[in-house]
Each structure stands twice: as structure tokens, then as C-alpha cells.
């Protein structure tokens, strides 16, 4: 089964190299069972796909690279928001795990979701971790879901400090969806990296948009941070150069931290939102 999966992945990578447009059309049809309209895109997913394929790719590369984006954040005056880094490595062999703290996060610079969360170094399988990192380092992430802006990024491994609340809980992630430099949707991601991960989309004034298909009970008072105005101001300034970008921030012990910029959340194949949301988010002036 694994051999068949790898063979299909290899064939699809060739299709992406031949034509990211054709590959994107195939991906869209596979997920939504209908053809994408790239000539006159109307929905959120369609317009993000169009931006992915036809906007300036090279401009986005430097903001997608998880090492280089830190330099740009500092140039924006947001160096104080960066998660402290333990080290940046070009090779897996250069990492000395014995010298790392008890808790840390391993990230690859050239992809999304290429993360290893270590909450107890004593329980970390070094051999397995090194094998996984080596496999990721050899992966061209742009050839997985036809996302060209992940190409031309030098593969590197970033080791960051592990962020957690004083009570030991995983902090809430705030994914702020910005359209033409304006924060319009705040997506809360709770219990991230666990089997209980959940998300909800809110307006900037903290009203439920009802965009997410799956519903769950949440405490509005508890989840609304005192730093909401700061989050929105940061997202607004960072997002100015882009038609659309998702600005990922988090808060630990009342301090705001920057995580990443995402131009193609869910690879422009967001199945979590309902049809009404897909239509509303795709209409002018949001994505006109």
C-alpha cells in the first residue's frame, strides 16, 4: 500500500512540475467533486487558488521561508514578537540533541506542518526524529499540493523554545485572515497538536461567523484576549503588502508571539467551512 502511495505521489509531483495549474484543478476536483473556475473565480477557495497560481510567487517566497520571515518581522519593528530560537541548522547531523532543553519545537523552514513538538526530551526517540527530519529535508514541499511559493526555499531546521501557558496548557492560536491589509476573520485554534483540536471563526468584534461546519461549545469570555486590539494592529501592519494572507499569532503569559504567514491555508482546499462562508469570503470587497 505504501509503495502504491509513493508511486502516485511521484506521478503527481511530475504533473505539478509540468503544470501547477493542471495539478491544482485535479486537487480541487478530488476534494470538492466539481471543476474549479479559474477564469472567473467566485468562491474563497477558488480565489485563493487563483492568487496561489498567478500572483508574484517570488515575492511570497521570502515571507514563506520560516527563517527569512524572521528578518522581515524584525524590519517591520516586530522583532520582539519572535519566538526565541535555540538554533538554525542546515543538516540534521549538526543537531546535538543532548544539549537541547527538556522541551522544544523542531520546524523545517520550507514547508507547512513539518513540525515535531517535544514536551519531554527523555521520551524522544532520537533515531526516529532524525530519520523524519532527514526525510523532510529532502522533500520539495511545493510538489505536494502544487504550492509554488514553497519552492526555492533553502531547507533548514529551526529549533524554537516550547511555548506553553503558566498552567501548562497549550496556548490558543489566533489565525487572523487579512484581505487587502484588513483583518476580517479571527480563527481560534484550540488544543492544537492534540486529538481535541478545534477551531472557530469570529469577526474582529468577537461574534461567531458560523462559518465552520463543526460546532462546539466555547467560553467566549475566557477565549477573548485582553490583547485583541494589539493582535489586530499587528496583523493589519504585516498584511499590508498582500492581497490575502493569514497571520498566525499566539499569546503566552499575556505576551504576543508571531508564528508564521500563510498564503494558502489548507492548500486552498478548505473543507472545514460551509458553502455560505466559501461564497461570502470570496466576494468583493474581501477578495474582489
Q: At how many degrees (to 10) do helices 57-64 and 68-75 cross? A: 90
For position 193, what pLDDT does the model report? 73
Provide mean pLDDT across the span 174-200. Answer: 91
Q: Encode pLDDT of 10-52 as tens digits.
A: 899 999 999 999 999 999 999 999 999 999 999 999 999 999 9
pTM: 0.95
Which of 2.40.128, 3.30.470, 1.10.3470, 3.30.70 would CATH assign to domain 167-288?
3.30.470
Q: Encode pLDDT of 261-276 as tens digits.
A: 999 999 999 999 999 9
For position 1, what pLDDT does the model report? 66
d(CA 225, CA 231): 9
Is residue 219 predicted with pLDDT exceeding 90?
Answer: no
With vertex at residue 80, the alpha carbon angle to CA 182 and CA 91, rounded to the nearest 5 degrees, is 100
Q: Encode pLDDT of 101-132 as tens digits.
A: 999 999 999 999 999 999 999 999 999 999 99
The mean of the pLDDT values for the chain is 94
Provide mean pLDDT across the span 253-257. Answer: 95
What ranges do the domains of the chain cover?
Answer: 167-288
For position 191, what pLDDT does the model report? 82
**pLDDT greater at residue 63 or residue 195:** 63
Amino acid at each position: 500500500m505504501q509503495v502504491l502511495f509513493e508511486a502516485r505521489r511521484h506521478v503527481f509531483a511530475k504533473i505539478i512540475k509540468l503544470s501547477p495549474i493542471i495539478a491544482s484543478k485535479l486537487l480541487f476536483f478530488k476534494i470538492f467533486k466539481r471543476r474549479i473556475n479559474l477564469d472567473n473565480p467566485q468562491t474563497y477557495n477558488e480565489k485563493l487558488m487563483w492568487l496561489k497560481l498567478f500572483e508574484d510567487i517570488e515575492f511570497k517566497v521570502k515571507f514563506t521561508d520560516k527563517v527569512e520571515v524572521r528578518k522581515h518581522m524584525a524590519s517591520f519593528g516586530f522583532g520582539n514578537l519572535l519566538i526565541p530560537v535555540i538554533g538554525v541548522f542546515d543538516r540534521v547531523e549538526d543537531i546535538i540533541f543532548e544539549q537541547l532543553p527538556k522541551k522544544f519545537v523542531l520546524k523545517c523552514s520550507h514547508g507547512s506542518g513539518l513540525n515535531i513538538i517535544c514536551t519531554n526530551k527523555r521520551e524522544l526517540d532520537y533515531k526516529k526524529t532524525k530519520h523524519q527530519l532527514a526525510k523532510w529535508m529532502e522533500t520539495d514541499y511545493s510538489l505536494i499540493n502544487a504550492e509554488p511559493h514553497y519552492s526555492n526555499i533553502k531547507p533548514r531546521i529551526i529549533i524554537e523554545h516550547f511555548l506553553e501557558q503558566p498552567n501548562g496548557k497549550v496556548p490558543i492560536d489566533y489565525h487572523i485572515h487579512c484581505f487587502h491589509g484588513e483583518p476580517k476573520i479571527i480563527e481560534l485554534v484550540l488544543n492544537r497538536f492534540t486529538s481535541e483540536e478545534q477551531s472557530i471563526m469570529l469577526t474582529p468584534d468577537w461574534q461567531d461567523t458560523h462559518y465552520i461546519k463543526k460546532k462546539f461549545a466555547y467560553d467566549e469570555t475566557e477565549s477573548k484576549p485582553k490583547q485583541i486590539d494589539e493582535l489586530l494592529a499587528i496583523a493589519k501592519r504585516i498584511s499590508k503588502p498582500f492581497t490575502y494572507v493569514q497571520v498566525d499569532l499566539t499569546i503566552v503569559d499575556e505576551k504576543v508571539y508571531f508564528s508564521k504567514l500563510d498564503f494558502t491555508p489548507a492548500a486552498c482546499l478548505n473543507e472545514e467551512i460551509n458553502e455560505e462562508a466559501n461564497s461570502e469570503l470570496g466576494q468583493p470587497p474581501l477578495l474582489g
